[in-house]
Structure 1
Amino acid sequence: MNHQEINQLVKQMNVDTATGEVDQRIQDIVVRLVSDLFKAIEDLDIQPSEVWKGIEYFTDAGKANELGLLAAGLGLEHYLDVRADEADAKAGVAAGGTPRTIEGPLYVAGAPESVGFARMDDGSESDRIDTLIIEGTVKDTEGNIIPNAKVEVWHANSMGNYSFFDKTQSHFNLRRTIFTDTVGHYTALTTMPVGYGCPPEGTTQALLNKLGRHGNRPSHVHYFVSAPGFRKLTTQFNIEGDKYLWDDFAFATRDGLVATAVDVNDTAEIARRSLDKPFKHIDFNIVLVKEADAEEAPSTEVDRRRASA
């Protein structure tokens, strides 16, 4: 069939058959996606067994709760970021805000809240992994501090696993919400994160294997940052020195989002931090864009299903 015949067939099946109220937006999207799929089947001569194996794959990925991971691994989530960057540029959004990057599938709502400072880890790995202090200031694009900004932070443990999804960890381990203090500052006392790989026997890695790709991420820390009157920021920093820093299977590493962990061995500084051993330190300052400076740009709030505990 040629493409015109396919368009007509899809219209007959998904438009002309409508007898009830139509959600026009949904109909437009379905017709377009089904048309493109049919054309791919025609152009690539995809066989019936291959079609059904594809359907089985998505069924299995859904059961394994890996569709969010797959979206990152195939570049869909990164593409949405690139597209949002282009929309911001066209709308004239002021430059200077901290770059966005992917959320990933492992956020959990409801983490414990504090002001200015939080200890994120439960102490279970203190003896076998480096202590890390992350701190920074939240400002606007004009350099003004933003007190009471909501800084949500989460990252993996030394095994590359995230609490809630990894049932061996305590509740909300390595997940906190820190509101900036009166000078816009936040500090997180935690442990050094490591990168993770897709579950080796999982559906995402199975497809990546077919594509000749690895499924590894560098060590990184995730953020949601929000404040009244400002655009919500979804971002993360990846840590300098990781072998996968610029070879992230999820394509999340971006200029401006690479952090350096500095070794701190000075006894006076260790004592000032009320610690009993050397630690690593990362500065990660955040710049938010005012809503008023982005009135013509799409919202940065993304409506998607997220875990909650």
Structure 2
Amino acid sequence: MINGVADVTPAVLAAMANTPDARLREITKSFISHIHAFAREVELTEEEYEVGINFLNRIGKATSEHHNEGVLIADVIGLSTLVCLLNNGNAGATETTAALLGPFWRINAPSIRNGGSIVRSSTPGAALFVKGRVKDINGNPIANVDVDVWQASPKGLYENQDQDQADMNLRGKLVTNAEGIFEFRSVMPDGYPVPTDGPAGDLLRAQRRHPYRPAHIHFLLFKPKFKTLITQVFVNDDPYLETDAVFGVTAALIGTYRKHDSGEPPAADITAPWHTLEYDFTMEPGFAKLPTPPIK
């Protein structure tokens, strides 16, 4: 029986005390304690409570097989990055710094040969040639690593957001060679705004925050007996490096995208300027698993 404000939280915690799953019991106990304390701290009004519930409902309604508003909300409040760093706390010591998966990864990107192109439709922009090296914590090359890459176009749109791009444009999977090297051709990415036509956009506008992410390429490295590495490599001169809307930039993940205005092009069909990126990735031993795709 509830006789007043002070009785609510103990009553709810008591009702959940017999939850068989110990981890679920721990999480729900902490969640209830914190969210009840939050309501007391801000003296939440009934009108504000209704706005909050409606906000959560709108997140669900805005989510589809092609767009994950729940992930986007977690991104713009920094929760995705926090969870990523909490679960990859050894970053920078024995493995490449991890970064959030984001809401645009698709699990079924087509395979390409090492050195091939991920450009599948007319995509204006300076050519980019990427060379990655994958090694273990002792500096030895790791062969046969599945490397999944994806990026936005120079227009700042992923292909599933843009009807002018072919399906799976600027996405691809390749495999490291015996020296742990993978290479592919693309175009220079550009910074872009996160989708703002849903609850995440409303939150950003209410907080007078810009929606932009600095230009980057996503990498997901997978091999059995190694901890799956999910990360991003950011363009070094992007103006939004310090104010990423989803708080995903760490210093170690800023790559050197070199611009070449002269010299011998790496392919016969391009002229200056073109860009190159070389980046070393370190994987540590662990359990290999793929994340749940946020979209199809």
Q: What TM bracket, shorter-length normalisation?
A: 0.7 to 0.9
Q: Which position in structure 2 is the counterpart of 1:78?
A: 81
d(CA) in 2 for partners of 1:84 and 1:203?
Answer: 27
SS in 2 for 1:236: strand
For 1:288, which of 280, 283, 290 is the aligned residue? Answer: 283
For 2:270, which of 272, 276, 294 is the aligned residue? Answer: 276
**1:72-101: CA deviation from partner (whole Å, max 9, x where unpaired):** 110101111231244x48xxxx92321111
Within-5 A mapping of 1:1-309: 5-12=7-14, 14-15=15-16, 22-65=20-63, 66-86=69-89, 88=90, 95-125=93-123, 128-268=124-264, 270=265, 272-278=266-272, 279-291=274-286, 301=289, 303-308=291-296
SS in 2 for 1:109: coil
d(CA) in 1 for partners of 2:100 and 2:190?
Answer: 17
SS in 2 for 1:55: helix
Root mean square deviation, CA, Å: 2.4
Classify 1:173/1:105 alpha carbon distance in 2 versus 1 (closer, same or farther; 3 Å).
same
d(CA) in 1 for partners of 2:290 and 2:24?
Answer: 18
Instruction: Tell me, yes or no, if the aligned pair for 1:134 and 1:187 is still in contact at 8 Å.
Output: yes
**1:216-245: CA deviation from partner (whole Å, max 9, x where unpaired):** 100011110122322111100110111101
Instruction: Tell me, yes or no, if the aligned pair for 2:85 and 2:98 is still in contact at 8 Å.
Output: no
d(CA) in 1 for partners of 2:88 and 2:4?
Answer: 36
Shift of 1:173: 0.5
Shift of 1:165: 4.2
Instruction: Tell me, yes or no, if the aligned pair for 1:115 and 1:180 is still in contact at 8 Å.
Output: no
Instruction: Tell me, yes or no, if the aligned pair for 1:7 and 1:35 is still in contact at 8 Å.
Output: yes
Instruction: Tell me, yes or no, if the aligned pair for 2:214 and 2:244 is still in contact at 8 Å.
Output: yes
Percent identity reads 25
Classify 1:285/1:84 alpha carbon distance in 2 versus 1 (closer, same or farther; 3 Å).
same
Shift of 1:167: 4.1
d(CA) in 1 for partners of 2:169 and 2:115?
Answer: 16
d(CA) in 1 for partners of 2:26 and 2:140?
Answer: 44
Structure 2: state its 5+ residue gaps: 64-68
SS in 2 for 1:190: strand
Instruction: Tell me, yes or no, if the aligned pair for 1:119 and 1:189 is still in contact at 8 Å.
Output: yes
Stretch deviating more after TM superposition (94-103 or 190-199) = 94-103
Shift of 1:148: 1.2
Instruction: Tell me, yes or no, if the aligned pair for 2:152 and 2:170 is still in contact at 8 Å.
Output: yes
d(CA) in 1 for partners of 2:25 and 2:163?
Answer: 40
Shift of 1:300: 7.1
Alignment size in residue pairs: 288
- TM-score (ref. length: structure 2): 0.88
Q: Which position in structure 1 is the counterpart of 2:66?
A: none
- TM-score (ref. length: structure 1): 0.84
Classify 1:285/1:157 alpha carbon distance in 2 versus 1 (closer, same or farther; 3 Å).
same
Classify 1:2/1:84 alpha carbon distance in 2 versus 1 (closer, same or farther; 3 Å).
farther
Structure 1: state its 5+ residue gaps: 292-298
For 1:131, the aligned partner's letter is A
Instruction: Tell me, yes or no, if the aligned pair for 2:107 and 2:293 is still in contact at 8 Å.
Output: no
SS in 2 for 1:113: coil
